[in-house]
Structure 1
Amino acid sequence: MEVSYNNRPVHFEISGAGKAVVLLHGFLENSQIWNPTVATLNKNFLCINIDLFGHGKTLQQGDQHKMSEMAKAVNAVLEKLNVTEAAFLGHSMGGYVALAFAELFPEKVHRLLLLNSTAYTDSEARKKVRERAIRLVKQNKEAFVSMAIKNLFSEVNKNKFSQQIEAMVLEAKKLSVEAVVASLRGLKERENRVDVLADFAKKTYLLGGEEDPLILRSSQEQLAEETGVPLVLFEGGHMSYLEAQEALLAKVQFILNK
C-alpha cells in the first residue's frame, strides 16, 4: 500500500487486527526486516510496517532525510488508516523517527520501544564520521554498504549471521547513492530529543545490545538514568532484532500486552 507525502509515495504494509503497532526500520534497511516479528505480533495487533524515505519501496525525498519529515510521513500513513493511537517499535534510525513523531504528535503515542537507538544527537566526532561516510558513499557505495552492515554485528555474530549479512548487503546495494547520502545527512543533523524521551518515560523502553558498537552500553545506561526510562539489554551488537530475536520478541510482546 502507499500514501502520498509531498506528492511522493510512501510504501507501507499492514497485517493483523487490534491495537496498532508501527514498525520502523533503520538506516540501510527496509520494512522487511520486521517480517519475523510481524508474523508473531499480527496475531494480536494491527502491524503497520513502513519503508522510510529512500529505503525499500519508498522514494527519496530531497537531499536530507530529516527525522521530523519522516515522522510526518508516518503520520500520513496513520491518517490514511484512521489510526488515532499506536505503539512504536523503531530500530536505530527508526527510533529517531519514532521520537520525532512523539514530539510532533504526542497524543498518538501509546508506547515507545526504542531498539538500538538513542535520544542523543551525534557528537562532533560522530558527525565527522558521517561526513567521511558521505564521501565514501559517493566514491564507492558498494564498499561502504558492505563494511557498514557487517560492522553492526558483534564480533562473535559476524560469522553466525554471515548469510543474513550477505542478504542485507545485497538489498542495501539497491539503494541509490543519493538516498544513502540524504539519510546520512539527516542522521548527522538530527536534533537532541532527551527531553522528549523524558516526557514519555512512563510509556518508553530502551532496548539495546550489550556489545552494540554504535550505541554503546555506557551511553544507553547514561540515557536511562538521565530520563528514568527502563533499559533492557540483550546479547549481541546493534542488530538485536536478529542477534537476539527470540528474547527481543518475548520482551516486546510483554511490553505491548502490559
Structure 2
Amino acid sequence: MYKNTRVAYSSKGKGGAVILLHGFLENSSMWNKIDKELSQRNKVICIDLLGHGKSDCLGYVHAMEDLADVVKAVLKAERIRSVTLIGHSMGGYVALAFTEKYLKNIKGLCLLNSTAQADNEERKKLRLRAIKMAQTNYESLVSMSIVNLFAEDTRNQFLEEVEECKEVALKTSVHGYIACSEGMRMRINREHVLASKGFKKLIITGKKDSIINHKQIKEEAGRTQTPLITLSNGHMSHIENSKELISLLKDFIKSVG
C-alpha cells in the first residue's frame, strides 16, 4: 500500500536487487522474458506503476516524484537498501526521479528507450490533445499509439506482439492514462541527475525510435557522460531486440556488482 493505494509487484530470485520499471500503457508483464533471465543471479522486482496493471490510481496527476515514492515504498517493504534501476520509457523518468530523491539507494541506473530531458513545448501540446482524445475515443488512440512504437520498416515482423501490446495497453484505465500523461507533461529536465557520479549508468536506445530522437539522445549521453548503446529498431527494444537487450542488461548488472 502507498498512501492507501494498492501497488502490485512481483519478486523473483536472490542476490543483488534489480527493479524493472515499465513504460506508459505497459505493465510489469512486459518484463516476463527478461526477469526470467535476470533473476537467475539477482533478486528482480517488477512493479506495476500507479494506474497500470494491478496497481490503483492515486488522484488526477501521477507525478514522476509520486511514482518514485511508490518504488521507495516497495524497497521498504522488501527491506532493500541499494538497487539497480532499469526503466523503459516512462519507467526511465521514474527511475531518474527516484535517483534524485534517493541517491544513496542507487547502485546502477539504466535508461531503456528513455531520456532525462523534459517534454518540449510541441510534445506537451501533443499530450494535451491525446488527453482530450482519451476521453472520447480511447481505443483508437491507444491502438494508434502502440503501432507507432515499433520501427516502421520491421513492424510486420511483430504483428502478434503489436496486438498483445494493444491488449495490455487497453487494460490501463482512462483515469490512469490521463494521470500519467499529466505527470509526464509536467516532469522536469533531470540531466543533472544523469550526470551525477557514484553509481553506474547506461542508456540503451533504438536507432529508429519514434519517441526518443536518436540524435538528441546521443547529445544527451555526451553532455552527461553516460555510456550509450544503440540497437537497430524502435521504441520497443524488449521486443524488437530482445536477445541482444537481455545480454546487455546482464552485462550492465554484472558491472554494477
TM-score with structure 2 setting the length: 0.97
Distance in 2, Cα, partners of 1:60 & 1:202: 31
Instruction: Give the alignment's Cα RMSD to 1 decimal.
Output: 0.9
Distance in 2, Cα, partners of 1:225 & 1:167: 36
% identical equivalent positions: 40
Matched, 1:224 2:221: yes
Residues 158-184 of structure 1: per-residue CA shift (max 9 Å, x gap): 211111110111121122111111111
Residue of structure 2 equivalent to 1:80: 77
**Runs (4+) of structure 1 moved beyond 6 Å?**
none
Aligned AA (1:162): L
Residue of structure 1 equivalent to 2:191: 194
Matched, 1:148 2:145: yes
Matched, 1:132 2:129: yes
Residue of structure 1 equivalent to 2:12: 15
Give 1:186 shift.
0.7
Distance in 1, Cα, partners of 2:178 & 2:58: 11
Residues 90-143 of structure 1: per-residue CA shift (max 9 Å, x gap): 000000000000000001111001000000000001101101111111111100
| Residues 200/10 of structure 1: CA separation in 2 closer, same or farther (3 Å cut) | farther
Matched residue SS, 2:46: strand
Matched, 1:109 2:85: no
Distance in 2, Cα, partners of 1:135 & 1:50: 28
Residues 231-256 of structure 1: per-residue CA shift (max 9 Å, x gap): 00001000011111011110111111
Residue of structure 2 equivalent to 1:63: 60
* 8 Å Cα contact 2:106/2:199 also seen in 1: no
Give 1:156 shift.
2.2
* 8 Å Cα contact 1:202/1:229 also seen in 2: no
* 8 Å Cα contact 1:120/1:193 also seen in 2: yes
Unaligned runs of 5+ in 1: none
Unaligned runs of 5+ in 2: none
* 8 Å Cα contact 1:145/1:169 also seen in 2: yes
* 8 Å Cα contact 1:134/1:184 also seen in 2: yes
Aligned AA (2:130): A
Aligned AA (2:209): D
Give 1:202 shift.
5.3
TM-score with structure 1 setting the length: 0.97
